[in-house]
Amino acid sequence: MSKDKRQKRDLHALNADGMVLCNPRDKEAAHRAEMEGIATDDHAAVSCRKCLDLLYKPTKAKREE
């Protein structure tokens, strides 16, 4: 398997279980994200569009109530 050569990678958020937020069922994805340095607990640094949507979905629902 070849190493990914992209210069800028999306940063993914981790949930409370340590899984990638946009793909919570895949343990291998969580491990790979942590090993490659593309997983973060800092919600302000997240750049993955799916993770951002999932992070702010509860906040958006509260505002609309």
Task: Kindly state the average pLDDT of the residues 10-35.
Answer: 91
Is pLDDT at 52 greater than 90 in this prediction? Answer: yes
CA distance 59 to 4: 34
Is pLDDT at 5 greater than 70 in this prediction? Answer: no
> What are the tokens at 6?
């992209």
Quickly state the pLDDT bin for 11 (edges 50, 70, 90).
very high
Domain ranges of the chain: 12-64
Q: Is 18 left (phi over 0), alpha (psi -120 to 50) or beta?
A: left
Average pLDDT, the chain: 85
